[in-house]
Amino acid sequence: MARAKTTPPVAAPTTAKREPLFTGRDWDFNLLDRVYGAIQEIAETELKLDTYPNQIEVISSEQMLDAYASTGMPLFYKHWSFGKHFVRNETLYRKGWQGLAYEIVINSSPCIVYVMEENSATMQTLVLAHAAFGHNHFFKNNYCFKQWTDATSILDYLSFAKKFVASCEDRYGQESVEQILDAAHALMSHGVHRYPGKHALDLKSEQRRLEERQAFAEKHFSDLWRTLPKTASRKKRDGEDERRRQMLGLPEENILYFLEKNAPRLAPWQRELIRIVRQIAQYFYPQRQTKVMNEGCATFSHYRLMTRLHESGQITDGSFMEFLHSHTSVVFQPEYDDPRYSGINPYALGFAMMEDIERIAIAPTPEDRAFFPDFAGCGDGYGVLRDAWENFRDESFILQFLSPNVIRKQKLFRLVDDSEDDEIVVASIHDERGYKAVRQSLSRQFDVGRQDPDIQVADVDLAGDRKLILHHNVVDGITLDGKDAAKVLHHLANLWGYDVKLLEIEDGETVAAHDGSPSRAFR
Amino acid sequence: MHIIDRRPDPGGKSLANRQRFMRRARALVKQAVREASGSRKIREIDGGGAVTIPADGVHEPSFHAGRDGGMRDYVLPGNKKFVSGDRIERPKQGGGSGSQGSADGEGEDNFRFVLSREEFLDLFLEDLELPNLAKRQVMGDAIERRHPAGFKTSGPPSSLSVGRTMRRSLSRRVALKRPNPRELEAMRRELAELEADADDHTRIAALKAEIERQERRAKVIPFIDPVDLRYRRIEVTPEPIARAAMFCLMDVSASMDEHMKDLAKRFFSLLYLFLTRRYKQVEIVFIRHTHEAKEVDEETFFHSRESGGTVISSALIEMAKIAKARYPADQWNIYAAQASDGDNLSSDNARSLAILRETILPMAQYYAYLQVGRGDYDREDGVFARQETTLWRAYQELIRPNLPMAMRKVNDRRDIYPVFRELFERRDEAAEAR
């Protein structure tokens, strides 16, 4: 927490003292407007943030609870699981066990920022700096978001989805819609494309493909002259298998996509429902990949913006103390043996790393120069940060930028827990030998590709009983949770319409297998 | 940047999702409600409140890594004493320092949430197998009446009064002389004609200036201005309501077991609910009796044990006394419900009947007698068919069509409702007669 009190290493540009924007805790719309203007000035001239236009919406705590339930989106289709989250949050909130967020921000253009009416004037300032500038800049510039989401159309799409689901419910009944949505939700984590799709071929690759085809034709031609029918027929069979897989686009890791395109017994409206769930999963995929960076960017921005407002006298000492109180609790990282510990706090890690990047850019130590020859001492802290915000995601960001200084400050250490060993080994700690290993391990911990098990649709027995075969590529011997896997497979079988089988394969050996059969085929 | 005030928007956006969730978890919630209503006080039955259901029933599965096995490699903050190469004993059951798992609220045993009053009652009544009509009557939303009461200048978009708003817009436009599109069109046409002839230049110039002036005017004076907006105003007035006193009489002699008491309690709860729908103020008096009667609080009423014989008239006398002292019949509607297993001292029957007929029934709106059984049907249907109890036979003599009294035998929860059906029917007849 001492971090919050240290003065920024930047030689802060001296600013003429100005009148405070507000003094009490009350605020009104005019004040929000002026505060926004003051923040915007600093954000655009000093931090050079580039944002979508903002739309600030003032909501009550009731409405915040509503927003919580539908993953923060202003409109969403109806499903019981959102009701479940709603009643849970409502209970926690009403009993006083859990506070509500001060804001919710939506990756759309215009960027929608919900602020709570209960917030004090200081908190509204903080919220605007955090969400309307920090998150907003990240949404607009980070490559993951650029690649995967279309901020301008998401609200329209959600509105379409909501209407479509409602019309299906009217037509086919809530139960049958729910059945599809339940099944699709269970597979949501395996309903994203992790890599961009194929691009149209250019002339060169067209040429290459033509040559390949000719080579293939020649090979076939020579096959005609073979006189060993047995091998020929086996070859043909193999070729057929290959061809079938190719026709179905197998192997395919986007299970929902595969079902949407290939499940034999789904009606068009059912395919469309799966598509909706898939599109939404895809929309949230970048957010899952950039938790540390997204929150780090927002937290760093609000901290810097608030400090600058305070330096120029636009917020009072009292307000600044109120801000620091809330800021320090946001970036608080309990230690592993603390009862409050519940994983690494992305706000804390992101903020600490970004502050350190700025320090390294401006006042590096010899160690920093050895670790970060690219930018240590380059002098343009904000520039380095903007570049990082634009071109990295959590995994690569940590791998590139986690400095020994941060590792030491947070006292990070790495454990290796091998189930064949009866003790856990402390593999590395925050020392010279450990920095790189800790960094690599932490980076992997934030890799979505490793968090979600690697499950792919491998094959279909189209000629036989149409059983769908999936493979789970087991890494480090970590197999699936069997109980949940069986339930998901049951959902999957319902969508596919026939039996499914999931093989867990490690180094070419099957270590576990799960089966699922449809309870009733969809009509 | 825009600022939008969403607070006046209609709330309850999650209501539909909540209802879907309730439907999904209905069986579980019903079970939970049954348990909760057993442990609640009669007066509190009406409150809604928290229930807990097993999380397994509403679990959303996903593919994720299991908790044990394999090689795991993770980073934790806050190292204090470890150096690399240290070996630590594995904490039990993964929990402890495991940073994996529990990411999506996994591992919860129970799911606890709060039911609203309506939801709680709905399930409570469903458990008693009340038909919907009766349920509506018991739940009765019609205590307040809403009626339109003029207009106001702010409100949610859904209550915008278009007619009134347009009327104000029109009068404002007329008063401020906003040009109407037809006039403008006429002037433009005239201008076009003049320009075609191209002779009267002064007239053309004047017309052009006039058109420009009018167009500017149309821009400055909006078609609808925020000052025009009018919203419908709804006033809520409470219905006139009277008071009721409810007497719960129960035999607590040793022959009444827990099952019987539970049945009696449910019956009393339902009567209380019914009365609170009809009357603003409902007082409950608990009178328990063995061979002598006593007014007690609810806790004692249901839970303390007493031994002794059974003399029902003692309770009736006690009730008559209390009613006379505290709840005079001209100011209070008096309801009484008696629960007993039917064993009365046979010499007391005549006396009880006399008190009922002469004192209690004349002042009471309704008197319900509930004979609770043990709930084991075998004995009743078996070879040794039970004889009617003495009290039952005695009361049966009393029953006449126009007497506000009903009696029932109840062995199971679902038998409770028919008693109420009579109650409702009676009320309807009375309403028609009036």
Q: Does A43 touch chain B (CB under 8 A)?
A: no
Q: Are residues A312 and A218 in the same domain?
A: no
ipTM for the assembly: 0.79
pLDDT of residue A201: 58
Mean pLDDT of A501-516: 88
**In whole angstroms, how far apart are CA B321 and each of A406, B140, B275, B316, B410?**
82, 33, 22, 9, 29
Other Cβ atoms within 10 Å of A198 Cβ, number: 6
Contacts of B176 (CB under 8 A, 6+ apart): B221
Residue B408 has pLDDT above 80, yes or no: no
Residue B116 has pLDDT above 80, yes or no: no
The structural domain count of chain A equals: 4
pLDDT of residue A441: 92
Of A185, A413, A425, Cβ closest to residue B79? A413
Q: Are residues A434 and A368 in the same domain?
A: yes
More confident residue, B85 or B402: B85
Q: Are residues A433 and A464 in the same domain?
A: no
Please report which confidence band the pLDDT of residue A164 belongs to, taking 50, 70 and 90 as the band edges. Answer: very high
Q: Does A66 touch chain B (CB under 8 A)?
A: yes
Mean pLDDT of A236-253: 75
Mean pLDDT of A456-474: 86
Mean pLDDT of B257-278: 78
Q: Are residues A296 and A313 in the same domain?
A: yes
Mean pLDDT of A128-140: 92
Tokens of A136: 């907003």
Query: Which of A259-268, A323-332, B418-427 has the weakest average pLDDT?
Result: B418-427
Q: Does residue A119 sit in helix, strand or coil?
A: coil
Q: Are strands B293-296 and B231-238 parallel, antiparallel or unpaired?
A: unpaired
Residue A207 has pLDDT above 50, yes or no: yes
Q: Do residue A70 and residue B14 have CB atoms under 8 angstroms apart?
A: yes
Residue B424 has pLDDT above 70, yes or no: no
For chain B, what is the HEC assignment?
CEEEECCCCCCCCCHHHHHHHHHHCHHHHHHHHHHHHHCCCHHHHHCCEEEEEEHHHHCCCCCCECCCCCEEEEEECCCCCCCCCCEEECCCCCCCCCCCCCCCCCCCCEEEEEECHHHHHHHHHHHCCCCHHHHHHHHCCCCEEEEEEEEECCCCHHHECHHHHHHHHHHHHHHCCCCCHHHHHHHHHHHHHHHHHCCCHHHHHHHHHHHHHHHHHHHHCCCCCHHHCCEEEEEEEECCCCEEEEEEEEECCCCCCHHHHHHHHHHHHHHHHHHHHHCCEEEEEEEEECCCEEEECHHHHHHCCCCCCCCHHHHHHHHHHHHHHHCCCCCCEEEEEEEECCCCCHHHHHHHHHHHHHHHHHHEEEEEEEEECCCCHHHHHCCCCCCCCHHHHHHHHHCCCCCCEEEEEECCHHHHHHHHHHHHHHHHHHHHHC
Mean pLDDT of B404-423: 72
Query: Which of B71-75, B142-146, B212-216, B275-279 has the weakest average pLDDT?
Result: B142-146
Over the stretch A47-65, which tens digit does the pLDDT of each residue have? Answer: 899 999 999 999 888 888 8
Mean pLDDT of A391-417: 91
Would the pTM count as exceeding 0.90? no
Please report which confidence band the pLDDT of residue A452 belongs to, taking 50, 70 and 90 as the band edges. Answer: confident
Query: Looking at the domain assignment, is residue A196 inside a domain?
Result: no
pLDDT of residue A405: 92
Residue B212 has pLDDT above 80, yes or no: yes
Pick the residue from chain A with its C-alpha nearest to B99: A343
Q: Do residue B3 and residue A188 have CB atoms under 8 angstroms apart?
A: no
> Domain limits of chain B?
15-57+108-127, 157-232, 243-433
Q: What percent of chain B has pLDDT over 70?
A: 79
Residue A138 has pLDDT above 90, yes or no: yes
Q: Does B83 touch chain A (CB under 8 A)?
A: yes
Residue A12 has pLDDT above 60, yes or no: no
pLDDT of residue A134: 92
Domain end among A431, A450, A469: A450
More confident residue, A105 or A210: A105
Sort residue B78 into left (φ over 0), alpha (ψ -120 to 50) or beta: left
User: In A, residues 160-219, which contact B (CB 8 Å cutoff)?
Assistant: 174, 178, 182, 185-190
User: In B, residues 321-380, which contact A (CB 8 Å cutoff)?
Assistant: none
More confident residue, A468 or A72: A468
Q: How far is A313 from chain B (nearest CA, A)?
A: 24
Tokens of B321: 């006394």
Q: Are strands A468-473 and A500-506 parallel, antiparallel or unpaired?
A: parallel
Chain A residue numbers with beta carbons less than 8 Å from the beta carbon of B74 are 414-415, 417, 441, 445
Q: Are residues A432 and A468 in the same domain?
A: no
Please report which confidence band the pLDDT of residue B239 belongs to, taking 50, 70 and 90 as the band edges. Answer: low
Residue A110 has pLDDT above 70, yes or no: yes
Mean pLDDT of A440-448: 90
Q: Are residues A27 and A133 in the same domain?
A: yes
Q: What is the dihedral sign for C-alpha B290, B291, B296, B300?
A: negative
For residues A137 and A107, is the Cβ–Cβ distance under 8 A? no
Residue A384 has pLDDT above 60, yes or no: yes
pLDDT of residue B97: 40
Residue B61 has pLDDT above 60, yes or no: yes
User: In B, residues 103-162, which contact A (CB 8 Å cutoff)?
Assistant: 103, 111-114
Chain A residue numbers with beta carbons less than 8 Å from the beta carbon of B87 are 423-426
Please report which confidence band the pLDDT of residue B105 belongs to, taking 50, 70 and 90 as the band edges. Answer: very low
Mean pLDDT of A21-38: 89
Mutate to test the interface with B, among A395, A417, A419, A421 (most CBs of B within 10 A): A417
Chain B residue numbers with beta carbons less than 8 Å from the beta carbon of A54 are 1-2
Domain end among A407, A434, A450: A450
pLDDT of residue B198: 75
Residue B266 has pLDDT above 60, yes or no: yes
Q: Does A456 touch chain B (CB under 8 A)?
A: no
Over the stretch B275-289, which tens digit does the pLDDT of each residue have? Answer: 776 676 778 888 888
Mean pLDDT of A272-283: 91
Over the stretch A358-378, which tens digit does the pLDDT of each residue have? Answer: 999 999 999 999 999 988 888
Amino acid identity, position A138: F
For residues A519 and A500, is the Cβ–Cβ distance under 8 A? no
Please report which confidence band the pLDDT of residue A236 belongs to, taking 50, 70 and 90 as the band edges. Answer: low
Architecture of domain B243-433: 3-Layer(aba) Sandwich (3.40)
Mean pLDDT of A320-338: 90
Over the stretch A280-311, which tens digit does the pLDDT of each residue have? Answer: 998 888 888 899 999 999 999 999 999 999 99
Over the stretch A425-443, which tens digit does the pLDDT of each residue have? Answer: 888 888 888 899 999 999 9
Q: Do residue A417 and residue B72 have CB atoms under 8 angstroms apart?
A: yes
pLDDT of residue A225: 55
Over the stretch B355-387, which tens digit does the pLDDT of each residue have? Answer: 888 888 888 877 888 888 765 544 444 444 456
Query: Looking at the domain assignment, is residue A158 inside a domain?
Result: no
Residue A29 has pLDDT above 50, yes or no: yes
**What rounded mean pLDDT belongs to chain A?**
85
DSSP assignment letter at A45: I
pLDDT of residue B432: 38
Q: Do residue B84 and residue A426 have CB atoms under 8 angstroms apart?
A: yes
pLDDT of residue A323: 92
pLDDT of residue A349: 93
pLDDT of residue A357: 93
pLDDT of residue B22: 83
Residue A503 has pLDDT above 60, yes or no: yes
Over the stretch B153-186, which tens digit does the pLDDT of each residue have? Answer: 888 888 899 999 999 999 999 998 888 888 889 9
**What rounded mean pLDDT belongs to chain B?**
76
- Domain that residue A213 falls in: 208-247
Residue B139 has pLDDT above 60, yes or no: no
For residues B36 and B46, is the Cβ–Cβ distance under 8 A? no
Please report which confidence band the pLDDT of residue A16 belongs to, taking 50, 70 and 90 as the band edges. Answer: low
More confident residue, B151 or A200: B151
Residue A78 has pLDDT above 60, yes or no: yes
pLDDT of residue B238: 61
pLDDT of residue A237: 60
Chain B residue numbers with beta carbons less than 8 Å from the beta carbon of A185 are 60
pLDDT of residue B109: 61
Q: Do residue B21 and residue A80 have CB atoms under 8 angstroms apart?
A: yes
Query: Looking at the domain assignment, is residue A255 inside a domain?
Result: no
H/E element holding A81? helix A80-94
Q: Are residues A96 and A135 in the same domain?
A: yes
Mutate to test the interface with B, among A433, A484, A505 (most CBs of B within 10 A): A484
pLDDT of residue B106: 40
Q: What angle in degrees, to the nearest 10, is found between the helix axes of B201-220 and B181-197?
A: 160
